[in-house]
Amino acid sequence: MITPEIAPANFIRNIIENDLATNKWGGRVVTRFPPEPNGYLHIGHAKSICLNFGLAQEFKGSCHLRFDDTNPTKEETEYVESIEADVRWLGFDWGEDLFYASDYFQALYDHAVALIKQGKAYVDDQSAEAIRATRGTLTEPGKDSPWRSRTVEENLDIFTRMAAGEFEDGSRVLRAKIDMAHPNLHMRDPTLFRIRKVSHHRTGGKWCVYPMYDYTHCISDSIEGITHSICTLEFEDNRILYDWFLDELALYHPQQIEFARLNLEYVVVSKRKLLTLVKEGHVGGWDDPRMPTLSGLRRRGFTPESIRLFCERIGVGRKESWIGMDVLEKAVRDDLNPKAPRVMGVLDPLKVVIDNYPEGQVEELEAPYFPDDPPRMGSRKVPFSRELYIEREDFLESPPKKFWRLAPGREVRLRWAYFVTCTGLVKNDQGEVIEVHCAYDPATKGGDSPDGRSPKGTIHWVSAPQSLTAEVRLYDRLFAVPRPDSEERDFRDLLNPDALKIIPHAALEPSLAGARAGERFQFERKGYFFADPQDSAPGKPVFNRIVTLRDSWAKIVEAQKKGR
Protein backbone atom coordinates (compact mmCIF):
# COMPACT_ATOMS: atom_id res chain seq x y z
CA MET A 1 0.00 0.00 0.00
CA ILE A 2 0.94 3.59 -0.49
CA THR A 3 2.61 5.35 2.37
CA PRO A 4 0.97 8.54 3.66
CA GLU A 5 3.95 10.74 2.87
CA ILE A 6 3.59 10.13 -0.86
CA ALA A 7 -0.22 10.26 -0.87
CA PRO A 8 -1.22 13.26 -2.97
CA ALA A 9 -3.65 15.89 -1.81
CA ASN A 10 -7.31 15.00 -1.68
CA PHE A 11 -9.49 18.03 -1.04
CA ILE A 12 -12.40 15.85 0.09
CA ARG A 13 -10.26 14.42 2.89
CA ASN A 14 -9.72 18.00 4.02
CA ILE A 15 -13.46 18.70 4.00
CA ILE A 16 -14.12 15.61 6.12
CA GLU A 17 -11.37 16.48 8.57
CA ASN A 18 -12.87 19.91 8.91
CA ASP A 19 -16.38 18.51 9.44
CA LEU A 20 -15.05 16.21 12.13
CA ALA A 21 -13.35 19.15 13.82
CA THR A 22 -16.58 21.19 13.83
CA ASN A 23 -18.70 18.13 14.63
CA LYS A 24 -20.94 18.91 11.66
CA TRP A 25 -22.26 15.34 11.33
CA GLY A 26 -21.91 14.26 14.94
CA GLY A 27 -18.64 12.51 14.17
CA ARG A 28 -20.15 10.33 11.43
CA VAL A 29 -18.61 9.70 8.02
CA VAL A 30 -20.97 7.87 5.68
CA THR A 31 -20.24 7.75 1.96
CA ARG A 32 -21.74 5.65 -0.83
CA PHE A 33 -20.83 4.21 -4.19
CA PRO A 34 -23.97 4.34 -6.36
CA PRO A 35 -23.53 2.48 -9.66
CA GLU A 36 -26.33 2.02 -12.11
CA PRO A 37 -26.45 -1.72 -12.87
CA ASN A 38 -26.39 -1.25 -16.64
CA GLY A 39 -22.88 -2.46 -17.41
CA TYR A 40 -19.64 -3.67 -15.88
CA LEU A 41 -17.45 -1.39 -13.78
CA HIS A 42 -14.44 0.23 -15.38
CA ILE A 43 -11.25 1.88 -14.17
CA GLY A 44 -13.11 5.22 -13.80
CA HIS A 45 -15.43 3.59 -11.30
CA ALA A 46 -12.37 2.31 -9.45
CA LYS A 47 -11.42 5.92 -8.75
CA SER A 48 -14.82 6.53 -7.18
CA ILE A 49 -14.78 3.23 -5.25
CA CYS A 50 -11.30 3.84 -3.83
CA LEU A 51 -12.33 7.37 -2.90
CA ASN A 52 -15.63 6.52 -1.21
CA PHE A 53 -14.62 3.27 0.47
CA GLY A 54 -11.14 4.61 1.16
CA LEU A 55 -12.41 7.68 3.01
CA ALA A 56 -14.85 5.57 5.01
CA GLN A 57 -12.00 3.26 6.04
CA GLU A 58 -9.67 6.10 6.86
CA PHE A 59 -12.19 7.86 9.09
CA LYS A 60 -13.71 4.67 10.53
CA GLY A 61 -17.06 5.41 8.94
CA SER A 62 -19.00 3.35 6.47
CA CYS A 63 -19.52 3.25 2.74
CA HIS A 64 -22.76 1.99 1.26
CA LEU A 65 -23.01 0.09 -1.97
CA ARG A 66 -26.21 1.35 -3.56
CA PHE A 67 -27.55 0.18 -6.87
CA ASP A 68 -29.12 3.08 -8.65
CA ASP A 69 -31.67 0.89 -10.35
CA THR A 70 -34.35 3.32 -11.46
CA ASN A 71 -34.20 2.51 -15.16
CA PRO A 72 -35.86 -0.89 -15.56
CA THR A 73 -35.24 -1.15 -19.30
CA LYS A 74 -31.45 -1.24 -19.17
CA GLU A 75 -30.71 -3.09 -15.97
CA GLU A 76 -29.95 -6.70 -15.32
CA THR A 77 -29.07 -8.95 -12.43
CA GLU A 78 -25.88 -9.97 -14.25
CA TYR A 79 -24.62 -6.42 -13.81
CA VAL A 80 -25.52 -6.33 -10.12
CA GLU A 81 -23.53 -9.50 -9.54
CA SER A 82 -20.51 -8.34 -11.53
CA ILE A 83 -20.45 -5.01 -9.68
CA GLU A 84 -20.49 -6.72 -6.28
CA ALA A 85 -17.71 -9.08 -7.38
CA ASP A 86 -15.60 -6.20 -8.71
CA VAL A 87 -15.92 -4.06 -5.57
CA ARG A 88 -14.97 -7.06 -3.44
CA TRP A 89 -12.07 -7.90 -5.68
CA LEU A 90 -10.76 -4.34 -5.33
CA GLY A 91 -10.61 -5.09 -1.62
CA PHE A 92 -13.62 -3.25 -0.24
CA ASP A 93 -16.50 -4.41 1.88
CA TRP A 94 -19.86 -2.75 2.37
CA GLY A 95 -20.73 -5.04 5.27
CA GLU A 96 -24.46 -4.77 5.92
CA ASP A 97 -24.76 -1.63 3.86
CA LEU A 98 -26.11 -2.95 0.58
CA PHE A 99 -28.96 -0.88 -0.79
CA TYR A 100 -31.08 -0.48 -3.88
CA ALA A 101 -32.76 2.73 -4.97
CA SER A 102 -35.69 0.49 -5.95
CA ASP A 103 -36.21 -0.19 -2.23
CA TYR A 104 -37.17 3.47 -1.96
CA PHE A 105 -39.80 3.51 -4.71
CA GLN A 106 -42.61 3.75 -2.16
CA ALA A 107 -40.86 6.50 -0.20
CA LEU A 108 -40.13 8.36 -3.40
CA TYR A 109 -43.76 8.07 -4.41
CA ASP A 110 -44.92 9.30 -0.99
CA HIS A 111 -42.56 12.28 -1.10
CA ALA A 112 -43.89 13.13 -4.56
CA VAL A 113 -47.39 13.12 -3.16
CA ALA A 114 -46.17 15.46 -0.41
CA LEU A 115 -44.73 17.81 -3.03
CA ILE A 116 -48.03 17.78 -4.92
CA LYS A 117 -49.85 18.63 -1.71
CA GLN A 118 -47.49 21.55 -1.17
CA GLY A 119 -48.25 22.78 -4.68
CA LYS A 120 -44.64 21.98 -5.67
CA ALA A 121 -45.35 19.29 -8.25
CA TYR A 122 -47.83 18.77 -11.08
CA VAL A 123 -48.78 16.28 -13.73
CA ASP A 124 -47.86 17.42 -17.22
CA ASP A 125 -49.69 15.88 -20.17
CA GLN A 126 -47.22 17.22 -22.71
CA SER A 127 -45.11 14.77 -24.69
CA ALA A 128 -41.41 14.41 -23.90
CA GLU A 129 -40.61 16.32 -27.09
CA ALA A 130 -42.89 19.19 -26.14
CA ILE A 131 -41.31 19.36 -22.69
CA ARG A 132 -37.87 19.45 -24.21
CA ALA A 133 -38.89 22.09 -26.76
CA THR A 134 -40.31 24.43 -24.10
CA ARG A 135 -37.39 24.18 -21.75
CA GLY A 136 -35.68 27.24 -23.20
CA THR A 137 -31.92 27.69 -23.49
CA LEU A 138 -29.10 29.20 -21.48
CA THR A 139 -30.04 32.60 -22.90
CA GLU A 140 -33.81 32.21 -23.13
CA PRO A 141 -36.34 31.29 -20.47
CA GLY A 142 -38.53 28.23 -20.89
CA LYS A 143 -42.32 28.28 -21.34
CA ASP A 144 -44.80 27.25 -18.69
CA SER A 145 -46.68 24.07 -19.49
CA PRO A 146 -50.42 24.53 -20.12
CA TRP A 147 -50.93 21.95 -17.29
CA ARG A 148 -48.83 23.81 -14.78
CA SER A 149 -51.76 25.32 -12.91
CA ARG A 150 -53.69 22.14 -12.26
CA THR A 151 -55.22 22.00 -8.81
CA VAL A 152 -53.69 19.89 -6.05
CA GLU A 153 -56.75 17.61 -6.12
CA GLU A 154 -56.51 17.06 -9.83
CA ASN A 155 -52.76 16.38 -9.63
CA LEU A 156 -53.25 13.89 -6.80
CA ASP A 157 -55.99 12.13 -8.72
CA ILE A 158 -54.06 11.84 -11.97
CA PHE A 159 -50.78 10.87 -10.30
CA THR A 160 -52.55 8.08 -8.39
CA ARG A 161 -54.05 6.84 -11.64
CA MET A 162 -50.65 7.04 -13.36
CA ALA A 163 -49.26 4.75 -10.68
CA ALA A 164 -52.27 2.46 -11.06
CA GLY A 165 -51.43 1.91 -14.70
CA GLU A 166 -54.30 3.80 -16.26
CA PHE A 167 -52.23 5.68 -18.84
CA GLU A 168 -49.87 4.80 -21.64
CA ASP A 169 -46.07 5.11 -21.50
CA GLY A 170 -44.98 8.64 -22.26
CA SER A 171 -48.47 10.13 -22.04
CA ARG A 172 -47.83 12.07 -18.82
CA VAL A 173 -45.07 12.87 -16.34
CA LEU A 174 -44.95 14.32 -12.86
CA ARG A 175 -42.83 17.47 -12.73
CA ALA A 176 -41.56 19.66 -9.92
CA LYS A 177 -43.00 23.15 -10.02
CA ILE A 178 -39.97 25.38 -9.60
CA ASP A 179 -39.23 28.10 -12.16
CA MET A 180 -39.31 27.87 -15.95
CA ALA A 181 -37.17 30.99 -16.19
CA HIS A 182 -34.47 29.80 -13.75
CA PRO A 183 -30.94 30.50 -15.03
CA ASN A 184 -30.03 26.87 -14.19
CA LEU A 185 -31.87 24.65 -16.65
CA HIS A 186 -32.08 21.80 -14.13
CA MET A 187 -34.47 23.99 -12.13
CA ARG A 188 -36.96 24.42 -15.00
CA ASP A 189 -39.59 22.06 -13.68
CA PRO A 190 -37.59 18.81 -13.80
CA THR A 191 -39.38 15.51 -14.23
CA LEU A 192 -39.83 13.40 -11.08
CA PHE A 193 -41.72 10.37 -12.36
CA ARG A 194 -42.46 8.93 -15.78
CA ILE A 195 -44.66 6.08 -16.90
CA ARG A 196 -42.85 2.88 -17.93
CA LYS A 197 -44.93 -0.24 -18.11
CA VAL A 198 -42.05 -2.65 -17.84
CA SER A 199 -40.99 -5.18 -15.30
CA HIS A 200 -38.16 -4.22 -12.96
CA HIS A 201 -35.40 -6.68 -12.05
CA ARG A 202 -36.28 -6.39 -8.36
CA THR A 203 -39.80 -5.00 -8.01
CA GLY A 204 -41.25 -6.97 -10.92
CA GLY A 205 -44.58 -5.58 -12.14
CA LYS A 206 -45.36 -3.63 -8.97
CA TRP A 207 -44.62 -0.21 -10.42
CA CYS A 208 -45.45 1.41 -13.70
CA VAL A 209 -44.16 4.84 -12.73
CA TYR A 210 -40.42 5.14 -12.17
CA PRO A 211 -38.54 8.04 -10.53
CA MET A 212 -35.86 10.08 -12.29
CA TYR A 213 -32.21 10.16 -11.30
CA ASP A 214 -31.91 13.61 -9.69
CA TYR A 215 -34.99 13.15 -7.58
CA THR A 216 -34.05 9.61 -6.55
CA HIS A 217 -30.46 10.29 -5.75
CA CYS A 218 -30.78 12.95 -3.10
CA ILE A 219 -33.65 11.20 -1.35
CA SER A 220 -31.77 7.88 -1.34
CA ASP A 221 -28.76 9.64 0.20
CA SER A 222 -31.04 11.22 2.76
CA ILE A 223 -32.79 7.99 3.73
CA GLU A 224 -29.45 6.25 4.24
CA GLY A 225 -28.02 9.05 6.36
CA ILE A 226 -25.12 9.72 4.00
CA THR A 227 -22.87 12.56 5.16
CA HIS A 228 -20.71 13.22 2.10
CA SER A 229 -22.33 12.48 -1.25
CA ILE A 230 -19.38 12.43 -3.60
CA CYS A 231 -19.97 12.57 -7.34
CA THR A 232 -18.22 13.66 -10.52
CA LEU A 233 -18.10 17.23 -11.78
CA GLU A 234 -20.86 16.76 -14.39
CA PHE A 235 -23.27 16.89 -11.46
CA GLU A 236 -22.14 20.27 -10.22
CA ASP A 237 -25.08 21.96 -11.98
CA ASN A 238 -27.47 19.39 -10.51
CA ARG A 239 -26.47 20.19 -6.95
CA ILE A 240 -28.99 23.05 -6.76
CA LEU A 241 -31.73 20.52 -7.45
CA TYR A 242 -30.32 18.04 -4.95
CA ASP A 243 -30.56 20.77 -2.34
CA TRP A 244 -34.00 21.99 -3.48
CA PHE A 245 -35.71 18.62 -3.11
CA LEU A 246 -34.30 17.96 0.34
CA ASP A 247 -35.06 21.49 1.54
CA GLU A 248 -38.63 21.53 0.20
CA LEU A 249 -39.32 18.14 1.77
CA ALA A 250 -37.49 19.17 4.96
CA LEU A 251 -35.45 15.96 4.92
CA TYR A 252 -32.04 15.11 6.38
CA HIS A 253 -29.59 16.79 4.02
CA PRO A 254 -26.19 15.33 3.07
CA GLN A 255 -23.57 17.47 1.37
CA GLN A 256 -22.92 16.85 -2.31
CA ILE A 257 -19.26 17.26 -3.27
CA GLU A 258 -18.00 17.01 -6.84
CA PHE A 259 -14.58 15.82 -8.01
CA ALA A 260 -12.96 15.44 -11.44
CA ARG A 261 -13.65 12.13 -13.12
CA LEU A 262 -10.88 9.91 -14.36
CA ASN A 263 -10.05 10.30 -18.03
CA LEU A 264 -7.54 7.66 -19.05
CA GLU A 265 -5.69 7.76 -22.35
CA TYR A 266 -5.88 4.94 -24.93
CA VAL A 267 -9.18 3.57 -23.57
CA VAL A 268 -12.76 4.78 -23.22
CA VAL A 269 -14.44 4.93 -19.83
CA SER A 270 -18.08 4.99 -20.74
CA LYS A 271 -20.27 2.00 -20.07
CA ARG A 272 -22.29 2.74 -23.18
CA LYS A 273 -19.25 2.61 -25.46
CA LEU A 274 -17.83 -0.42 -23.70
CA LEU A 275 -21.20 -2.13 -24.13
CA THR A 276 -21.03 -1.36 -27.86
CA LEU A 277 -17.60 -3.00 -28.09
CA VAL A 278 -18.94 -6.09 -26.34
CA LYS A 279 -22.24 -6.29 -28.26
CA GLU A 280 -20.65 -5.80 -31.67
CA GLY A 281 -17.93 -8.34 -30.94
CA HIS A 282 -14.96 -5.97 -31.19
CA VAL A 283 -13.69 -7.66 -28.02
CA GLY A 284 -14.29 -11.07 -26.52
CA GLY A 285 -16.55 -9.82 -23.72
CA TRP A 286 -16.64 -7.52 -20.71
CA ASP A 287 -13.65 -9.39 -19.28
CA ASP A 288 -11.54 -9.25 -22.43
CA PRO A 289 -8.04 -8.43 -21.14
CA ARG A 290 -7.88 -5.43 -23.49
CA MET A 291 -10.88 -3.82 -21.81
CA PRO A 292 -10.49 -1.07 -19.17
CA THR A 293 -13.19 -2.82 -17.14
CA LEU A 294 -12.24 -4.16 -13.74
CA SER A 295 -13.11 -7.66 -14.96
CA GLY A 296 -10.88 -7.14 -18.01
CA LEU A 297 -7.98 -5.83 -15.94
CA ARG A 298 -8.40 -8.73 -13.51
CA ARG A 299 -8.41 -11.26 -16.35
CA ARG A 300 -5.32 -9.65 -17.80
CA GLY A 301 -3.53 -10.09 -14.48
CA PHE A 302 -3.68 -6.68 -12.80
CA THR A 303 -3.74 -6.95 -9.02
CA PRO A 304 -6.28 -5.06 -6.91
CA GLU A 305 -3.30 -3.50 -5.09
CA SER A 306 -2.00 -2.06 -8.35
CA ILE A 307 -5.34 -0.41 -9.12
CA ARG A 308 -5.62 1.01 -5.62
CA LEU A 309 -2.07 2.31 -5.92
CA PHE A 310 -2.96 3.92 -9.25
CA CYS A 311 -6.04 5.59 -7.74
CA GLU A 312 -4.04 6.87 -4.79
CA ARG A 313 -1.35 8.26 -7.08
CA ILE A 314 -3.69 10.16 -9.40
CA GLY A 315 -5.20 11.99 -6.44
CA VAL A 316 -8.56 13.71 -6.22
CA GLY A 317 -9.03 17.23 -7.47
CA ARG A 318 -11.59 19.52 -9.01
CA LYS A 319 -9.88 20.10 -12.34
CA GLU A 320 -10.61 17.97 -15.41
CA SER A 321 -7.45 16.22 -16.53
CA TRP A 322 -6.15 13.29 -18.53
CA ILE A 323 -4.06 10.52 -17.06
CA GLY A 324 -1.56 8.73 -19.27
CA MET A 325 -1.70 4.97 -19.58
CA ASP A 326 1.91 4.88 -18.38
CA VAL A 327 0.68 5.81 -14.88
CA LEU A 328 -1.47 2.69 -14.71
CA GLU A 329 1.30 0.57 -16.21
CA LYS A 330 3.82 1.93 -13.74
CA ALA A 331 1.50 1.14 -10.84
CA VAL A 332 1.20 -2.51 -11.81
CA ARG A 333 4.95 -2.80 -12.39
CA ASP A 334 5.68 -1.26 -9.01
CA ASP A 335 3.24 -3.60 -7.35
CA LEU A 336 4.48 -6.74 -9.08
CA ASN A 337 8.21 -6.01 -8.92
CA PRO A 338 8.66 -7.33 -5.38
CA LYS A 339 5.99 -10.03 -5.75
CA ALA A 340 6.47 -11.76 -9.08
CA PRO A 341 9.16 -14.46 -9.33
CA ARG A 342 11.59 -14.15 -12.25
CA VAL A 343 11.57 -16.92 -14.81
CA MET A 344 12.75 -17.32 -18.39
CA GLY A 345 10.56 -17.69 -21.44
CA VAL A 346 11.41 -17.24 -25.10
CA LEU A 347 8.53 -15.73 -27.04
CA ASP A 348 10.04 -15.88 -30.51
CA PRO A 349 12.41 -18.85 -30.44
CA LEU A 350 15.63 -19.10 -32.45
CA LYS A 351 17.61 -22.31 -32.09
CA VAL A 352 21.15 -22.21 -30.72
CA VAL A 353 23.50 -25.21 -30.86
CA ILE A 354 26.46 -25.25 -28.45
CA ASP A 355 28.88 -27.28 -30.53
CA ASN A 356 31.41 -27.97 -27.77
CA TYR A 357 28.77 -29.10 -25.24
CA PRO A 358 28.52 -32.91 -24.90
CA GLU A 359 25.61 -34.39 -26.80
CA GLY A 360 22.93 -35.86 -24.53
CA GLN A 361 24.22 -34.08 -21.41
CA VAL A 362 21.80 -32.07 -19.28
CA GLU A 363 22.85 -29.90 -16.36
CA GLU A 364 20.53 -28.47 -13.77
CA LEU A 365 21.54 -24.89 -13.03
CA GLU A 366 20.44 -22.93 -10.01
CA ALA A 367 18.43 -19.81 -10.80
CA PRO A 368 17.04 -17.54 -8.07
CA TYR A 369 13.41 -16.48 -8.31
CA PHE A 370 14.29 -13.09 -6.87
CA PRO A 371 17.80 -12.15 -8.00
CA ASP A 372 17.67 -8.94 -6.00
CA ASP A 373 17.09 -10.89 -2.80
CA PRO A 374 17.92 -14.56 -3.50
CA PRO A 375 17.85 -16.06 -0.01
CA ARG A 376 14.43 -14.65 0.74
CA MET A 377 12.42 -16.22 -1.99
CA GLY A 378 14.19 -19.36 -3.16
CA SER A 379 15.19 -20.65 -6.51
CA ARG A 380 14.51 -23.33 -9.09
CA LYS A 381 16.65 -25.47 -11.33
CA VAL A 382 16.79 -24.75 -15.03
CA PRO A 383 18.12 -27.42 -17.40
CA PHE A 384 20.96 -26.56 -19.75
CA SER A 385 21.82 -28.66 -22.77
CA ARG A 386 23.44 -28.57 -26.18
CA GLU A 387 20.35 -27.14 -27.89
CA LEU A 388 18.76 -23.97 -26.63
CA TYR A 389 16.31 -21.33 -27.73
CA ILE A 390 17.03 -17.66 -27.52
CA GLU A 391 14.88 -14.71 -28.54
CA ARG A 392 15.14 -14.11 -32.30
CA GLU A 393 15.65 -10.40 -31.66
CA ASP A 394 18.68 -11.20 -29.50
CA PHE A 395 20.72 -12.24 -32.52
CA LEU A 396 21.81 -10.09 -35.44
CA GLU A 397 24.12 -11.14 -38.23
CA SER A 398 25.33 -7.59 -38.77
CA PRO A 399 24.71 -5.73 -35.54
CA PRO A 400 24.56 -1.95 -35.42
CA LYS A 401 26.62 -0.07 -32.87
CA LYS A 402 25.47 -0.53 -29.28
CA PHE A 403 23.82 -3.87 -29.97
CA TRP A 404 25.36 -5.90 -27.18
CA ARG A 405 23.54 -9.15 -27.72
CA LEU A 406 24.59 -12.15 -29.80
CA ALA A 407 26.32 -11.66 -33.17
CA PRO A 408 29.00 -13.56 -35.11
CA GLY A 409 32.23 -13.63 -33.11
CA ARG A 410 30.54 -11.98 -30.13
CA GLU A 411 30.47 -13.36 -26.58
CA VAL A 412 27.36 -12.96 -24.41
CA ARG A 413 26.29 -14.25 -21.04
CA LEU A 414 23.40 -16.68 -20.93
CA ARG A 415 21.54 -15.73 -17.78
CA TRP A 416 22.48 -18.07 -14.86
CA ALA A 417 24.40 -20.35 -17.25
CA TYR A 418 27.58 -19.77 -19.26
CA PHE A 419 29.28 -17.33 -21.56
CA VAL A 420 28.86 -18.37 -25.18
CA THR A 421 30.51 -17.06 -28.33
CA CYS A 422 28.80 -17.19 -31.69
CA THR A 423 30.80 -19.29 -34.14
CA GLY A 424 28.44 -19.66 -37.08
CA LEU A 425 24.90 -19.59 -38.41
CA VAL A 426 22.57 -21.49 -40.72
CA LYS A 427 20.09 -19.83 -43.10
CA ASN A 428 17.09 -21.15 -44.96
CA ASP A 429 16.37 -20.65 -48.67
CA GLN A 430 14.82 -17.28 -47.94
CA GLY A 431 18.02 -16.12 -46.32
CA GLU A 432 16.58 -16.10 -42.80
CA VAL A 433 18.74 -17.25 -39.93
CA ILE A 434 17.25 -20.48 -38.57
CA GLU A 435 20.06 -21.71 -36.35
CA VAL A 436 22.98 -20.15 -34.55
CA HIS A 437 26.09 -22.04 -33.51
CA CYS A 438 28.09 -21.19 -30.41
CA ALA A 439 30.95 -22.38 -28.25
CA TYR A 440 30.57 -22.19 -24.48
CA ASP A 441 33.24 -21.55 -21.87
CA PRO A 442 32.94 -24.24 -19.17
CA ALA A 443 34.82 -22.01 -16.72
CA THR A 444 31.93 -19.50 -16.63
CA LYS A 445 29.30 -21.75 -15.05
CA GLY A 446 26.65 -19.71 -13.25
CA GLY A 447 27.40 -16.67 -15.36
CA ASP A 448 30.68 -15.50 -13.85
CA SER A 449 34.16 -15.73 -15.21
CA PRO A 450 37.20 -16.54 -13.04
CA ASP A 451 39.33 -14.17 -15.14
CA GLY A 452 37.00 -11.29 -14.45
CA ARG A 453 35.84 -10.70 -18.01
CA SER A 454 32.22 -9.69 -18.36
CA PRO A 455 30.33 -9.56 -21.65
CA LYS A 456 28.18 -6.49 -22.13
CA GLY A 457 25.15 -8.52 -23.10
CA THR A 458 23.14 -10.93 -20.98
CA ILE A 459 20.30 -12.77 -22.66
CA HIS A 460 17.66 -15.21 -21.53
CA TRP A 461 17.32 -18.70 -22.99
CA VAL A 462 15.54 -22.00 -22.58
CA SER A 463 16.87 -25.51 -23.09
CA ALA A 464 15.12 -26.80 -26.21
CA PRO A 465 14.44 -30.46 -25.38
CA GLN A 466 12.94 -29.69 -21.96
CA SER A 467 11.15 -26.49 -22.92
CA LEU A 468 7.46 -26.09 -22.23
CA THR A 469 5.52 -25.06 -25.31
CA ALA A 470 2.76 -22.67 -24.32
CA GLU A 471 0.35 -20.13 -25.74
CA VAL A 472 1.23 -16.59 -24.75
CA ARG A 473 -1.04 -13.62 -25.42
CA LEU A 474 0.53 -10.22 -25.72
CA TYR A 475 -1.87 -7.45 -24.81
CA ASP A 476 -1.44 -3.81 -25.56
CA ARG A 477 -3.51 -0.63 -25.42
CA LEU A 478 -7.09 -0.96 -26.63
CA PHE A 479 -7.03 2.12 -28.86
CA ALA A 480 -4.41 3.35 -31.28
CA VAL A 481 -4.92 7.00 -30.31
CA PRO A 482 -4.77 8.62 -26.84
CA ARG A 483 -8.25 10.15 -26.89
CA PRO A 484 -10.58 8.08 -29.05
CA ASP A 485 -13.58 10.02 -27.72
CA SER A 486 -12.41 13.36 -29.02
CA GLU A 487 -11.53 12.28 -32.56
CA GLU A 488 -13.82 12.98 -35.49
CA ARG A 489 -13.81 9.35 -36.55
CA ASP A 490 -16.06 6.82 -34.86
CA PHE A 491 -14.30 5.39 -31.83
CA ARG A 492 -14.70 1.87 -33.21
CA ASP A 493 -12.47 2.75 -36.15
CA LEU A 494 -9.70 3.77 -33.77
CA LEU A 495 -9.23 0.42 -32.06
CA ASN A 496 -5.62 -0.74 -31.94
CA PRO A 497 -5.35 -3.76 -34.27
CA ASP A 498 -2.22 -4.86 -32.39
CA ALA A 499 -3.86 -4.83 -28.96
CA LEU A 500 -3.76 -8.63 -28.98
CA LYS A 501 -1.05 -10.80 -30.50
CA ILE A 502 -1.26 -14.51 -29.88
CA ILE A 503 1.95 -16.51 -29.77
CA PRO A 504 0.86 -20.12 -30.11
CA HIS A 505 4.25 -21.73 -29.43
CA ALA A 506 6.38 -19.81 -26.99
CA ALA A 507 9.24 -21.83 -25.43
CA LEU A 508 9.20 -21.51 -21.64
CA GLU A 509 11.43 -22.95 -18.94
CA PRO A 510 10.01 -26.27 -17.74
CA SER A 511 9.35 -25.09 -14.18
CA LEU A 512 6.38 -23.18 -15.59
CA ALA A 513 4.52 -26.42 -16.22
CA GLY A 514 3.78 -26.15 -12.50
CA ALA A 515 2.31 -22.66 -12.77
CA ARG A 516 -1.15 -22.52 -11.32
CA ALA A 517 -3.98 -20.61 -12.93
CA GLY A 518 -3.92 -17.07 -11.57
CA GLU A 519 -0.17 -17.02 -10.78
CA ARG A 520 2.00 -14.12 -11.89
CA PHE A 521 5.61 -14.14 -13.07
CA GLN A 522 8.14 -11.84 -14.52
CA PHE A 523 9.52 -13.35 -17.71
CA GLU A 524 12.96 -11.80 -17.60
CA ARG A 525 13.30 -8.93 -20.06
CA LYS A 526 9.80 -9.58 -21.47
CA GLY A 527 7.33 -8.32 -18.93
CA TYR A 528 4.90 -9.50 -16.27
CA PHE A 529 2.71 -12.45 -17.15
CA PHE A 530 -0.40 -14.02 -15.66
CA ALA A 531 -1.51 -17.64 -16.01
CA ASP A 532 -4.97 -17.11 -17.46
CA PRO A 533 -7.48 -18.32 -14.88
CA GLN A 534 -9.92 -19.71 -17.44
CA ASP A 535 -7.77 -21.15 -20.18
CA SER A 536 -4.89 -22.59 -18.17
CA ALA A 537 -5.01 -26.30 -17.33
CA PRO A 538 -2.76 -28.28 -14.97
CA GLY A 539 0.62 -28.63 -16.68
CA LYS A 540 -0.60 -26.46 -19.57
CA PRO A 541 -0.65 -22.81 -18.59
CA VAL A 542 -1.73 -20.08 -21.00
CA PHE A 543 -0.09 -16.75 -20.24
CA ASN A 544 -1.40 -13.21 -20.62
CA ARG A 545 1.10 -10.42 -20.71
CA ILE A 546 0.01 -7.89 -18.12
CA VAL A 547 2.56 -5.24 -19.01
CA THR A 548 5.98 -4.96 -20.58
CA LEU A 549 9.10 -4.13 -18.60
CA ARG A 550 10.66 -0.82 -19.11
CA ASP A 551 14.42 -0.56 -18.65
CA SER A 552 14.60 -4.28 -17.98
CA TRP A 553 17.71 -4.48 -20.04
CA ALA A 554 19.41 -1.63 -18.21
CA LYS A 555 18.52 -3.21 -14.89
CA ILE A 556 20.06 -6.57 -15.67
CA VAL A 557 23.25 -4.97 -16.89
CA GLU A 558 23.41 -2.91 -13.73
CA ALA A 559 22.87 -5.92 -11.50
CA GLN A 560 25.59 -7.78 -13.36
CA LYS A 561 27.98 -4.89 -12.84
CA LYS A 562 27.38 -5.20 -9.14
CA GLY A 563 28.68 -8.76 -9.42
CA ARG A 564 25.53 -10.83 -9.79
Annotated catalytic residues are: 36, 261, 271
Binding track, positions 145-174, relative to ligand ATP; x by CB under 6 A = ------------------------------
- Cβ-proximal residue to ligand ATP, closest one: 44
Whole-angstrom distance, CA of residue 451 vs CA of residue 50? 55
Region of 32-40, 71-79, 192-200, 441-449 interacting with ligand ATP (CB under 6 A): 32-40
Q: What values do phi and psi take at 483, rounded to 5? A: -130, 75
294 binds ligand ATP (CB under 6 A): no
Binders of ligand ATP in range 48-77 (CB under 6 A): 48
- 509: three-class secondary structure by DSSP: coil
> What CA dihedral angle connects 77, 78, 84 and 89, to 10 degrees?
170
483 binds ligand ATP (CB under 6 A): no
CB of 507 to ligand ATP, least distance (A): 41
Whole-angstrom distance, CA of residue 406 vs CA of residue 433? 13
Residue 505 β-bridge partners: none
Binders of ligand ATP in range 324-383 (CB under 6 A): none
Which of 48, 222 has the CB closer to ligand ATP?
A: 48
- Using the rule CB under 6 A, which residue among 87, 231, 462, 474 binds ligand ATP? 231
- Using the rule CB under 6 A, which residue among 20, 36, 179, 480 binds ligand ATP? 36
Region of 204-212, 261-269, 298-306, 495-503 interacting with ligand ATP (CB under 6 A): 261-269
Whole-angstrom distance, CA of residue 209 vs CA of residue 175? 13
Binding track, positions 205-224, relative to ligand ATP; x by CB under 6 A = --------------------
Which of 262, 344 has the CB closer to ligand ATP?
A: 262
Contacts of residue 205, Cβ cutoff 8 Å, sequence gap at least 6 = 199
Which of 66, 415 has the CB closer to ligand ATP?
A: 66
Region of 29-37, 105-113, 323-331, 527-535 interacting with ligand ATP (CB under 6 A): 29-37
Contacts of residue 228, Cβ cutoff 8 Å, sequence gap at least 6 = 12, 15, 16, 19, 29, 30, 31, 55, 254, 255, 257
- Using the rule CB under 6 A, which residue among 10, 45, 188, 462 binds ligand ATP? 45
Whole-angstrom distance, CA of residue 351 vs CA of residue 42? 43
Nearest to 344 by CA among 505, 524, 221: 524
Tell me which H or E stretch contains 349: strand 349-354
201 binds ligand ATP (CB under 6 A): no
Nearest to 44 by CA among 332, 294, 320, 266: 294
Region of 41-49, 386-394, 448-456, 466-474 interacting with ligand ATP (CB under 6 A): 41-49
Residue 472 β-bridge partners: 503, 543
Q: 18 exposed, middle or buried (CB, 10 Å; 0-12, 13-18, 19+)? A: exposed
- Using the rule CB under 6 A, which residue among 40, 44, 126, 289 binds ligand ATP? 44
Which of 36, 435 has the CB closer to ligand ATP?
A: 36
Residue 282 β-bridge partners: none
CB of 272 to ligand ATP, least distance (A): 6
State the residues that interact with ligand ATP by CB under 6 A: 34-36, 44-45, 47-48, 231-232, 261-262, 269-272
